[in-house]
Amino acid sequence: MTSPDHFLHIDDRTPTALTELLDRAASLKASTPSTALANRTLAMLFEKESTRTRLSFETGMTQLGGHAIFVSPDDTQLGRGEPLKDTARTVSRYVDAIMVRVFDHEDARTIAEHASVPVINGLTDVSHPCQTLADLLTIREAFDSFDVKAAWVGDGNNVAQSFVLGCAMVGIDCAVATPHEYGIDESVLDRTAAFDGTITTTTTPHEAVANADVVATDVWVSMGEEAQREQKLEAFDGFQVNDTLLDDQRVLHCLPAHRGEEITNNVLESERALVFEQAENRLHAQNALLTTVID
Ligand code: CP
Ligand code: NVA
């Protein structure tokens, strides 16, 4: 039996396949709804909160003629301790793909290992590849190409790790500014080395944004990190994306944003911000992904 076409990390795809996926997203953006996934079902397993991921996947399945089922531990046997591997094998007997948003990436891997249908990562502690698809689509729309330079300012978190991999894969050089103790994992930086775009790191936000056309950021305190809040706010002092840091760079944020922490209200509400185009593109990028992994 061939392994299902899981999507757990952005570099599960080759750069060519990633570009094809983005092209398909652009094409679907112009042409949905379709019946490509008529009678197909996506199970969406959420261990933590979501607005964009839940609504875009559910809407996407509707637009493609299929159906999505929201699953949470609160109202399934998962919450009473049914093992992930049993859940994965059972759910695979009903649906055509499974989207998972879990705290521990190992849990996503366990589900993928035991599922007989494709598993899509809708955010784990280490990556958010669906977000990166939307980010890249948004950059390409805004600049008409990937001939740009990017910067990441803030936490070297799940969103950042997928973002730098995605940038490297499409040939975008990205300068990353994080506090020393909250940098992107060395193993992720090592993976970027296989691709055309170069990822550099610094602890100085001004240095990172100096040559950038687009600056991306995300919250300083991710879901599940609430106990570290005070410590992180202290560490990120000076890393806010604000008018002092920026010139005329375009700005990405996966949302939800914490105005006054990682980004100012002024920047988010300015013409520089691409954040709602980016949020919309979750839908189109994931529609492309769904029609690729569900055969
Ligand atoms: N950007 C993103 O994944 O948003 P949600 O947490 O609302 O799904
Ligand atoms: N880094 C954030 C992203 C939310 C979409 C988190 O993990 O909470």
Structural contact between residues 53 and 26, judged by C-beta atoms closer than 8 angstroms = no
38: DSSP letter: T
For the question of residue 228 being annotated catalytic, the response is no
Task: Tokens for 70, please give them.
Answer: 């929201």
Q: Is 157 a pocket residue for ligand 1 (Cβ < 6 Å)?
A: no
One-letter identity of residue 245: L
For the question of residue 282 being annotated catalytic, the response is yes
Q: Is 123 a pocket residue for ligand 1 (Cβ < 6 Å)?
A: yes
Which residue positions in the chain have pLDDT lower than 50? none
Torsion angle, alpha carbons of 16, 9, 47, 52, to 10: -40
- Of the candidates 177, 170, 161, 176, the residue with the CA atom closest to the CA atom of residue 136: 170
Whole-angstrom distance, CA of residue 269 vs CA of residue 180: 29
Structural contact between residues 218 and 253, judged by C-beta atoms closer than 8 angstroms = yes
Tens digits of residue pLDDT in 243-279: 999 999 999 999 999 999 999 999 999 999 999 999 9
Whether the model clears a pTM of 0.95, i.e. scores above it, the answer is yes
| All domains of the chain in start order, with CATH | 10-128+281-293 (3.40.50.1370), 131-278 (3.40.50.1370)
Tens digits of residue pLDDT in 113-139: 999 999 999 999 999 999 999 999 999
Task: Tokens for 43, please give them.
Answer: 């199970």
- Of the candidates 130, 116, 163, 110, the residue with the CA atom closest to the CA atom of residue 52: 130
Q: Return the exposure string of 163-192: e unless at least 16 CB atoms fall within 10 Å of the residue's CB, then b.
A: bbbbbbbbbbbbbbbbbeebbbeeebbebb
| pLDDT at residue 60, rounded to an integer | 98
Q: Are strands 119-121 and 149-153 parallel, antiparallel or unpaired?
A: unpaired
Ligand 1 atom with minimal separation from the 55 CA:
8
Catalytic one of 254, 272, 278, 284: 254
| pLDDT at residue 1, rounded to an integer | 61
Task: Tokens for 212, please give them.
Answer: 């950038």
Radius of gyration of the CA atoms of the chain, in A: 19
| pLDDT at residue 32, rounded to an integer | 76
52 CA from centroid of ligand 1 (Å): 5
Q: Is 52 a pocket residue for ligand 1 (Cβ < 6 Å)?
A: yes
Provide the 3-class DSSP secondary structure of residue 154.
coil
Task: Tokens for 185, please give them.
Answer: 């994992």
For the question of residue 167 being annotated catalytic, the response is no
Bridge partners of 120? 7, 99
Whole-angstrom distance, CA of residue 121 vs CA of residue 131: 10
Whole-angstrom distance, CA of residue 122 vs CA of residue 101: 5
For the question of residue 131 being annotated catalytic, the response is yes
Using alpha carbons, list the distances in angstroms from residue 197 to 9, 36, 38, 134, 150: 17, 34, 38, 18, 10
